[in-house]
Structure 1
Amino acid sequence: MQITVIGAGAWGTALAIAASRQPHAHRVVLHARDAAQAQAMQQMRRNERYLPGIDLPAALTITSGPLDALLPSARAEDLFIIATPMAGLRSTLQALQGVPASVAWLCKGFEAGTGLMPHEVQAQVAPQLHAGALNGPSFAQEVARTQPTALVAASPHASVREALVQAFHGSALRVYANDDIVGVEVGGAVKNVLAIATGLCDGLDLGLNARAALITRGLAEMTRLGVALGAKAETFMGLSGLGDLVLTATGDLSRNRQVGLLLAKGLSLEQAVTSLGHVAEGVYSARTVHQRASQLGVDMPITEAVVALLDGRLKAFDAVQVLMGRGPRGEAV
């Protein structure tokens, strides 16, 4: 098997490193869009921009240039990993639409403008692909440092799930298979929005009681939306639901949590995003999550408050007051 990771950001690089360290004979290629970045990584054997201080395995091949050059040699047993942000998924899938290999994406969210989940984008532009998602609670730095991590390989195709397990499952990285791609993708999208809310809660010093309540009620929101979209409720109690939500909402390596913390300090959204230097997907997906929920009549008050905050219609403390001022109701999802 050849494993080609398209996108040399932190997460793509971390997974390429993880695959290269597996005790098998797979060939691993990390493809960077920027030729200068690829040359620097090749010379230094590090990705100092996104994963500073972490060495690239000698077995990892670095490439750049048009994707077309990678496609003619692709075989059915190979695997392509799309490690672009959500905004790059559609064009990358279009480029890969003719390959016989399995394809999986790492991005989480709903596409801006269309409100589509990744698998829905794929159904539009490359329906013949055998494809899926690799998701779960994971910070790139920890995966690259071989710290224990568990992920979910989600696809309606058993061959894709098996390829992802074969490529990445090992002593430090466990990969569990799941055929509920809707549930896995909803969890991956909504947790980023909820992490902004939790960062705001912590930044305002509202306490651990408030954080626990916010995460728990956020999980209820996530589950309501997922079930309305056709997911299995039990998926949200797994790695891509509760697991990813807890990590992203409480871990200081979470960029979405950092956005909430910075907004609580009084920074504007533009200042908060600029100071991160990396993409915080929740900022871009919050509106589309809310839009999709509204179309389905799904109540998501935390998400609605985050959107109002990002749009400048609510101040940080006012968003908390809006949530706490809601009338009493039963706890059931």
Structure 2
Amino acid sequence: MTGLPKIKVAVIGAGSWGTTVAALTAANTPTTLWARRPALAIEIDQHHRNSDYLPTFELPGGLAATSSLEEAVSNADVVVMAVPSHGYRDVAAQAAQYLRPWVPVVTLTKGLERGTQMRMSEVTVEEMPGHPVAVMTGPNLAKEIIDGQPAASVVAIDDARVAAELQRIFSRPSLRVYTNPDVVGCEVAGVVKNVIAIASGMANGMGFGDNTRATLITRGLAEMTRLGEAMGGDTMTFAGLAGMGDLIATCSSTQSRNNTVGQRLGEGERIDDIVESMSMVAEGVKSCPSVLELARRYGVEMPITEQVVAVCHDGLSASAALSALMERSSKSEIEK
């Protein structure tokens, strides 16, 4: 209905994906992007550029930006959280002070909280109680999405009315958005695919080809599905955009931070040097120990994840990790 006021969106976090999602929603409805650093907020607001994360793209002129969390959140009808997992709870707690009642919160973060092993939707419920919580996920490499290349995404929430409105807000002619009521499955898929992407990158860095990558993607999907089902996710989710779709994109693309970390590990670099040199967070490095803790809690076998943890956190070489995987005892492919 044309007479109704437009929904106002606040996107919290001005990294590459947060900025991209803000650009998408700004084409549909008034949107404000929160950047932690005032200089970046001014650049986005006044010059329509994010030179730190998306330097070659011009942002919509209607996209506003601010470094004031209160300004971004206090009048928002939808809040989108695009904050890395290690800082998510603190920012959510701060934003909650300014959030009006019943405003939906959408999390874009594909990680787990260290220590608690909580998914970001669970952290959101704790820090922002009383708000519908959704997850947006899928094979969404930021530079391709903001460039207008055809793609699809998933908005997961068990409230069909909220899902339909979020679907409308995020959709663009070049981005087809699907809904899915399976929040747990979509979130688990988004977390685990980052871990498998590190393994895929390691294989590539060691000089192996498409067969090795296909093997890791397929067996990684098996790990993702086992854990997701054990945690209450729907099996079909893992065959869809949030599962297989995102896994293929992340394991195959040089734009993927997690794949890039793996590539450099496979080439023999030290994990500390790799992480220190990166301006953006590779969530798989931080989340893989938590994924393994969840696997043990639910009695799920995740051998690829075990080796990624050993390389990223225990000093094992990529070649030794590959040998450990290949030397495992023979099994049935469909063994649970």
Provide the TM-score with structure 1 as the length reference: 0.94
Contact 1:131-1:157 at 8 Å conserved across structures: no
5+ residue gaps, structure 1: none
Question: Aligned residue for 2:4?
Answer: none
Question: Are the structure 2 counterparts of residues 136 and 208 from structure 1 closer, same or farther at C-alpha, using a change threshold of 3 Å?
Answer: same
SS at match of 1:205: coil
Question: Aligned residue for 1:15?
Answer: 21
Question: Aligned residue for 2:51?
Answer: 48
What is the CA-CA distance between 1:238 and the residue it aligns to?
0.3
Structure 2: how far apart are the matches of 1:134 and 1:255?
A: 19
Structure 2: how far apart are the matches of 1:280 and 1:163?
A: 30
**Identical aligned pairs, as a percentage?**
42
Q: Give runs of aligned pairs for residues 175-194 of structure 1, distance below 5 A.
A: 175-194=177-196
Structure 2: how far apart are the matches of 1:64 and 1:124?
A: 24
Question: Are the structure 2 counterparts of residues 159 and 93 from structure 1 closer, same or farther at C-alpha, using a change threshold of 3 Å?
Answer: farther
SS at match of 2:314: coil
Question: Aligned residue for 2:40?
Answer: 37
Matching residue's letter, 1:46: R
Structure 2: how far apart are the matches of 1:160 and 1:316?
A: 44
Question: Aligned residue for 1:246?
Answer: 248
Q: Give runs of aligned pairs for residues 1-333 of structure 1, distance below 5 A.
A: 1-22=7-28, 26-65=29-68, 67-74=69-76, 78-97=77-96, 98-100=99-101, 101-332=103-334, 333=336
Matching residue's letter, 1:256: N
Structure 1: how far apart are the matches of 2:300 and 2:208?
A: 27
Contact 1:102-1:163 at 8 Å conserved across structures: no
Structure 2: how far apart are the matches of 1:71 and 1:191?
A: 31
What is the CA-CA distance between 1:96 and the residue it aligns to?
4.0
Provide the TM-score with structure 2 as the length reference: 0.93
What root-mean-square deviation, in Å, do the aligned CA atoms of Structure 1 and Structure 2 show? 1.4
**Alignment deviations for residues 87-113 of structure 1 (CA, whole Å, 9 cap, x no partner):** 232223323444232110100111111
Contact 2:265-2:271 at 8 Å conserved across structures: yes
Question: Are the structure 2 counterparts of residues 60 and 45 from structure 1 closer, same or farther at C-alpha, using a change threshold of 3 Å?
Answer: same
Matching residue's letter, 1:54: F
**Alignment deviations for residues 173-229 of structure 1 (CA, whole Å, 9 cap, x no partner):** 111000000000000000000000000011112222111111100000000000010
What is the CA-CA distance between 1:55 and the residue it aligns to?
0.7
Contact 2:201-2:263 at 8 Å conserved across structures: yes
What is the CA-CA distance between 1:268 and the residue it aligns to?
0.3
Matching residue's letter, 1:2: K
What is the CA-CA distance between 1:50 and the residue it aligns to?
0.4
SS at match of 2:57: strand
Contact 1:103-1:160 at 8 Å conserved across structures: no
Question: Are the structure 2 counterparts of residues 59 and 43 from structure 1 closer, same or farther at C-alpha, using a change threshold of 3 Å?
Answer: closer
Matching residue's letter, 1:33: R
Contact 1:138-1:149 at 8 Å conserved across structures: yes
5+ residue gaps, structure 2: 1-6
Aligned residues: 326
What is the CA-CA distance between 1:272 and the residue it aligns to?
1.4
Structure 2: how far apart are the matches of 1:159 and 1:70?
A: 24
What is the CA-CA distance between 1:39 and the residue it aligns to?
1.5
